[in-house]
Amino acid sequence: MQIEHLETFLDLIETRSFNRTADRLGLTQSTVSGRVAALEAAVGARLFNRSRAGTDLTTEGLKFESHARALRHAWAEARRAVLPAGNAAVALRIGIQNDLAAGLIGEWVAEFRVRLPDCAFYLEPDYSNQMCADLRLGLLDFAILFTPRTLPDLYFTTLGEVRYRLICSDGSLHTDLAPARYIRGNYSPAFAQTHDDLLPEMATAALATGQNAAVAGMLTTLGGAGFVLDHTAGQLVAGGDFHFVSDVPAITQPVYAAMHLRHRPSRLHRRLIRIVQRQLASR
């Protein structure tokens, strides 16, 4: 059995179509069929039923699915385990939500290195959806993110929260906001829903982005108003060109740790959780 056979099997579960899986994986349909046939021969059971309605798992395929995901994840971890990591006993790949990486990554990594001196770290800022996908595939060991994504084999726990504050260059009240000069931060689905409940008139603002640094950069250049992280808001207000909008509350964004279920009992992962929880609580 080859890892490519497992990848094809798991993709076919999602697409329910040999044609779509072939397109997604850049293969011919005959290659997809051949891989499925080889996998079925290796496990000794038929895994799919094909009909006009689509491709569905057999009972045996349903039983094999969780094992296939575990095998794919274990293979990815095994390949990474043998990569050079200097003198470190363990190499950890950690994903961090883009907005958190920009202002907090230095403090977190400093404590990681003190508390976990035998580890080497690779840090990758990214968005929640991609980090969840990478955890599932075994490409990340741990992630700090805004939006848990319900996927098989992933575990999430709350770490704390960060706050976004509304600032404006044109005044300090809600009435000073102008849609034409508003930059809408779309940091997470939960944030977007709270934002649109607070400021429905800004829900269709012409400028929008999903990164705190991008909102701050546009505000600095263009002026206007927008929600930015608490520490970014403080810096811009201290510069004298912006005001806190006093009658619009801050928006709180929960922060979560994510990992593969296999790592839930891991002492190392529990220590990572405690470090980030302590760092977030201290801000």
Question: What pLDDT, on a 0 to 100 scale, did the predictor assign at position 87?
Answer: 65
Contact criterion met (CB below 8 Å) for 228 and 185: yes
Q: What pLDDT score was predicted for residue 147?
A: 95
Domains of the chain, first to last: 3-71 (1.10.10.10), 90-160+254-281 (3.40.190.10), 162-253 (3.40.190.10)
- Provide the pLDDT for residue 86: 64
Give me the tens of pLDDT residue by residue for the chain, a chain 283 residues long.
688 999 899 899 989 999 999 999 999 999 999 999 999 999 999 999 988 778 899 999 999 998 988 888 888 887 777 766 666 667 889 999 999 987 778 888 889 989 999 888 889 999 999 999 999 888 899 999 999 998 888 999 999 999 999 999 999 999 999 999 999 999 999 999 999 999 999 999 999 999 999 999 999 999 999 999 999 999 999 999 999 999 999 999 999 999 999 899 999 999 999 999 998 988 7
pLDDT at position 203 is 92
> Given this model, what pLDDT does residue 283 score?
74
d(CA 214, CA 77): 34
pLDDT at site 255: 96
